[in-house]
Structure 1
C-alpha cells in the first residue's frame, strides 16, 4: 500500500471514530432527555393528583359549611315558629279577655238611659276586641315575614362566606 492509501484509511478510521462518538453522544442525550421528560411528566401527574385532592377537600369543606348554615337556619326557623306560636297563644288570651270584658260591660237595669249606655259600651268593647284581634293577626304576619327574611338573609350570608373564605 502506498502512503496515500494508508492516509486515506487512517482518515476514514478517524472520521468513523468521530462519527461513532457523535452517534453515542446523541443516544446518551436522547436517553437523558427521555428520562427528564418522564420525571417532568411524573411530577405533572403528581401535581395534578394533589390539585384534584385539594379541590375535593375544598369542595367537601364548602359542602360541610353549607350544611352547617342550613342546619343553623333550620334551628332558627324552628325557634321563630315556637316564638310565633307563643305570641299567638298570648294574643288569643288577650282577645278572649277583651271579649269577656265586652260581655261584662252591659248594665241591664230599669233605667233606659243606663241600658242604652251599657249597649253602647258593649258595642265599643266589641269593636275594640275586633281591632285587637286584627292587630294581633297583622303583627303575627309581619313578625313571621321578618323572621323568615332575616333567617334567609343570614343563611345566604353564611353560605356566601363559606364559599369565599379560605379554611382556617
Structure 2
C-alpha cells in the first residue's frame, strides 16, 4: 500500500530524493541497464509483484547484512534485483501487523485526494502506518513491538517540533 501511493510514485517521476538515495538509484540503473529514473519504480514494482514473499525477505536479509549496525548505509553497497531503498522499506514493513480501525460513533476518518497513507513516528521508525479506506474504516499497520510489549526498548528521540525528548506513544488495543 505504501509503495502504491502517489507520493512515492511522485518521488520517481519528479526525481525528489536525498543525495545518498539518488546516487544509489543511479548505481542501480547502471547495474540493471535502466535508462530513466521513472523506470526504476516500474522495475521495483514488477519485482515485488512477481517475487514470492519469502524470496523478498531473503533478499532483504542480504541487504541488511551489508552494514548490520546501519542498514541504510548499505544503500551504496548493495547490488540486487531491486533498488535497496524499496527492498529495505518492504522488509521493515513485514515487522508490522494489520489492524482495522473503525471510527467512533459520530466520528469519521478524513479522506483526501492528495494522500493515501500517513504514519506516526520519525524517519527512523514508524509506530503506525494509516491507510484510510472509507470514512468509517482505516487499515493500520502496527509495529510488532506493541504486540510483544517491547515498545519501550526504543530510545527516546528528539521531537521534530522542539528540542525536547519525547516518549514513545502509548497504544491500547482491545478485541
| TM-score, structure 1 normalization | 0.18
| Larger RCO of the pair (alpha carbons < 8 Å, separation 6+) | 1
| TM-score, structure 2 normalization | 0.18
Structure richer in strand, relative to its length: 2
Larger Rg over CA atoms: 1
